[in-house]
Structure 1
Amino acid sequence: MQHASTSTKPFYVKTVGPPTMATMSGKSEQSSTTESSGWHESI
């Protein structure tokens, strides 16, 4: 679980920072819930 927390922290910050980049990564359809979907996928 320790590694999960560390992985979620940077991922979340990245998604919240550049939302456009995350959407271009292939989450165009989930642009509205990029941080939510991305966070879930990360885990």
Structure 2
Amino acid sequence: MLFPAAVLLVLWGAIRPEERFLRKRFGAQYDDYTRRVRRWL
């Protein structure tokens, strides 16, 4: 029961903000990277 909540917390609290930061910082390079590499390594 706590696992789904923890996953959502990590997703919204850490992963999405980091992806926004990387997209701003690296732009098209990051977009190319995300197309080549799976999200969950």
| TM-score, normalised with respect to structure 2 | 0.46
- Greater relative contact order (Cα < 8 A, sep 6+): 1
More helix by proportion, 1 or 2?
2
Q: Which has the larger radius of gyration?
A: 2
